[in-house]
Amino acid sequence: MIVAARIFVVGGLTSFRALFYWLTPWIYIPTMLIAPLFQILLFAYIGRSAHLRNDQFFLIGNALQYAAIPCLFAMAQMLGGERYQNTLSAILVSPAPRIPLFFGRSLPVVLNGAFVGAFALAVGSLILGVHLPASSIAPLALVILIAAFSCTGLGLVNAALSLRIRENAVISNVIFGFLLIFTGANVPLSSLPDWMSTAAQGMPFTHAIGAARLLAGGAALGHVRGLLGAELLVGAVYGVLGYALVRWFETLSRQHASLERS
Amino acid sequence: MSSLRFIGVSWLLQLKMIMRSPFDGIGNVLYPLFFATTAFFVFQAGRSPRTLVYAALGAAVMGMWSSVSTSAGSAMQRERWWGTLELLVAAPRHFSLVLFPSTLGLATVGIYNLAATLLWGRFAFGIHVTIVHWLLFCLSVGGTVLAFGGLGLLFAVSFVRFRAAWVLGNFFEYPVWLICGLLVPLALLPAWVRPISWVLAPTWGMNAIRQSALGGSPVNDLLICLGLGLAYVAIAVLVTDRVLQDARARGTLSLT
C-alpha cells in the first residue's frame, strides 16, 4: 500500500517535473498563459462581429476549453516522452502496479490544467472587463478543477493512443479541435445540429462550461450539482477507458515487439 | 537565373517533404479547419449571410497563415535536430537563399488550406463564395503566398538562437488571425492595433483576396502585400548575416 502510494505521489510528481526538462518558462508562458488569452480575445471579437452572445460567454467557454492543451499534451507526453527518452520499456518491465503508476502521473496534470484555466479566466476577465460576482469565484475554481479532471481522463485515452500512433501532437490537436467545436465553448449547444449537441454530452467541458456560465450568472453551487456530477462521470469513464486502452496496447506492444516502433 | 533555379528545385524538394510530414502536411491543414468550422457556426448562429462569405474567405487565409507560422519558426530548429544546419550554413549559397524555399514550401501548402477551407464551407455550410475577378484572385493568392514565405523566412532566421523556436511560431498564430482582420473587421479592434496590422502582410493579402473575390479593386492591397514581403526578405538577409556571424564567433550554432 505504501509502495503504491509512493509510486502515485513521488512517481507522478517526478514524471511531471521531467516535462520541465523541455517545458521551460520560455515555452510554458507563451503556450499556457498567453495563448489562451488570444484565443479568448479572438472568439470574443468574432462574437461581437457576429452579434452572438456577450464577452462573458466566450470568456468562460474558451478559458475552460483551453485547459485541454495541458491536459491532452501532457498526458500524451507521459508515454510518448518516455518512448522518446528510451525509458518506456524500463517502466513497463517494472513490477510497479499500473494503477498508481498511470493515475499518479495524471494528478499533476489535473492541477496544472486547472491552473491554466483559472489564469485564463482571471486575466481574460480583466482584459475584457467582464465582471464575475465575488460569490462565484470559489465555485468557479471547483468547476475548473472538475473540468481539468474530466479532460485528463480523455488525456489518458490520448496517451494510450500514443502507444500505437507516432504523431501524438497531431492527435492531440485534432481532439482539441473537436472539443473547440462540440463543447459549447463558442457555439451555443442549441445552435449546433442535434447529433453534435448530443455527442457533446459525452465530452469533457460541455457540462463544466454550462455550469460555469450559470455560476457566473449568479446561480448557487447546489443549482449546478447535476452538471458537475455529469462532468465528473464523463471524466471517470474516459479515465477507466484510457487505463484499459493503455493496458491493452501494452500487451499488444509486448506481443508484436512494437513498443519502440517510433 | 541559377538562384531562381536553385529556389525552384529546393522549393519542390521541400514541398515533397512537407507533404510527407504528418504534422505539416496533415496537422497544419486540419487544425485551422477546426477554427474555421467554429467560426462558421458562430457566424451562422448570428444569421448574417454577408458575414458568412466574409468569414469563409478569412478562414481560408487563416489556414494559409497557420501552415507558415507554426512551422516556419522552427525551420532552422528542424535542420539543427537533423544535424544538417552546419552543412547548410557552410554551403556556398547565402543561407537565407537556402532557407527561403523551405518557408515558401510551407506557404504553398497554404493554397491547399485555402481551397480545403472554401470547399468545406461550400459543402458543409452551404457558403457560396463567388469569385468575381478570377485572374486577380489567383494573383492575390500567389502574392500572399510569396509574402507569407518572406515573413516565414524572417521568423525562421530571427528565432535561430532560440532553442524553443517552435513556440514563437505557434505564439504568432492567434494574434495574426485577430489583428490582421481575417475574421474580425479591423474597425472593431482598438485604434492602437491598426498600425501593427498595417506592417503585417497578411492584412493586405487578406484585403486583396477579399477585394478580388467580392468585386473590389485589389491591386493596391496586392502591391503593398508584395512590397512588405520583399521588405521581410531584405530584413531576413540582414538578420541572417548578423546571426550567423555571431553564432560562428561564439561557436553556438548547434546550441548544444
Mean pLDDT over the full length of chain B? 85
- What is the average per-residue pLDDT within A135-151? 95
Identify whether B255 is part of a domain: no
Which domain range does residue B125 map to? 2-250
Contact of B147 with B232, CB cutoff 8 Å: yes
Tell me the chain A residues in contact with residue B59 when contact means C-beta distances shorter than 8 Å: none
Considering its fold, how many domains does chain B have in total? 1
Residue B50: predicted pLDDT: 62
- Selection from A144, A214, A205, A210 nearest residue A178 by Cα: A205
Complex ipTM value: 0.86
Which is more confident, A100 or A117?
A117
| Cross-chain residue pair B178–A42, CB shorter than 8 Å | yes
Mean pLDDT lowest among A61-75, A242-256, B60-74, B171-185: B60-74
Tell me the chain B residues in contact with residue A38 when contact means C-beta distances shorter than 8 Å: 174-175, 178
Residue A7: predicted pLDDT: 78
Rounded to an integer, what distance in angstroms lies between the CA atom of residue A156 and that of residue A175? 12
Q: Using CB atoms, which residue from A22, A34, A46 is nearest to B42? A: A46
Query: Residue A39's closest chain B neighbor by CA?
Result: B174
Residue B235: predicted pLDDT: 93
Shortest alpha-carbon distance between residue A78 and chain B (Å):
19
- What is the average per-residue pLDDT within B163-171? 75
The string of pLDDT tens digits covering residues B63-110 is 888 878 877 777 777 777 788 888 888 888 888 888 888 888 888 888
Q: Using CB atoms, which residue from A30, A174, A187 is nearest to B45? A: A187
The string of pLDDT tens digits covering residues B225-244 is 999 999 999 999 999 888 88
| Cross-chain residue pair B22–A43, CB shorter than 8 Å | no
A→B interface, C-beta within 8 Å: 22, 24, 26-27, 30-31, 34-35, 38-39, 41-43, 45-52, 166-167, 169-170, 173-174, 176-178, 180-181, 186-188, 191-192
Instruction: List Cβ neighbours of A47 (8 Å cut-off, separation of 6 or more).
Output: A53, A54, A55, A57, A58, A186, B42
- Selection from A150, A139, A144 nearest residue A124 by Cα: A144
Contact of B216 with B210, CB cutoff 8 Å: yes
| Cross-chain residue pair B27–A180, CB shorter than 8 Å | no
Q: Using CB atoms, which residue from A46, A169, A176 is nearest to B183? A: A46
Q: Using CB atoms, which residue from A42, A50, A191 is nearest to B174? A: A42
Task: Give me the total of CB pairs closer than 8 Å, taking one residue from chain A and one from chain B.
Answer: 108
The string of pLDDT tens digits covering residues B187-228 is 889 999 999 999 999 999 999 999 999 888 899 999 999 999
- What is the average per-residue pLDDT within B152-162? 80
Residue B193: predicted pLDDT: 92
State how far the alpha carbon of B135 is from the alpha carbons of A122, B57, B58, in Å.
48, 16, 19
* Any A CB within 8 A of B196 CB: no
Mean pLDDT over the full length of chain A? 88
| Cross-chain residue pair B41–A192, CB shorter than 8 Å | yes
| Cross-chain residue pair B41–A46, CB shorter than 8 Å | no
Predicted model pTM: 0.88
Percent pLDDT > 90 in chain B is 23
pLDDT beyond 80 at B131:
yes
pLDDT beyond 90 at A178:
yes
Rounded to an integer, what distance in angstroms lies between the CA atom of residue B156 and that of residue A236? 43
Query: Residue with C-alpha cell 458562430?
Result: B42
Which is more confident, A87 or B124?
B124
Query: Residue B43's closest chain A neighbor by CA?
Result: A50
Rounded to an integer, what distance in angstroms lies between the CA atom of residue B235 and that of residue B58? 27
pLDDT beyond 70 at A261:
no
CA A233 to chain centre: 15
Shortest alpha-carbon distance between residue B23 and chain A (Å):
6
The string of pLDDT tens digits covering residues B20-75 is 877 776 777 788 888 889 988 998 887 665 677 888 888 888 888 887 887 777 77
Tell me the chain B residues in contact with residue A200 when contact means C-beta distances shorter than 8 Å: none
Identify whether B256 is part of a domain: no
Tell me the chain B residues in contact with residue A50 when contact means C-beta distances shorter than 8 Å: 42-43, 45-46, 48, 51
Residue A60: predicted pLDDT: 96
DSSP-derived letter for residue A246 is H
Tell me the chain A residues in contact with residue B171 when contact means C-beta distances shorter than 8 Å: 30-31, 34-35
* Any A CB within 8 A of B255 CB: no
Q: What is the DSSP string of B162-202?
A: -TTHHHHHHHTHHHHHHHTTSSS-GGGS-GGGHHHHHTSHH
Residue B254: predicted pLDDT: 72
Residue A252: predicted pLDDT: 85
State how far the alpha carbon of B239 is from the alpha carbons of A125, B11, B153, B184, B234, in Å.
39, 22, 10, 32, 9
DSSP-derived letter for residue B7 is H
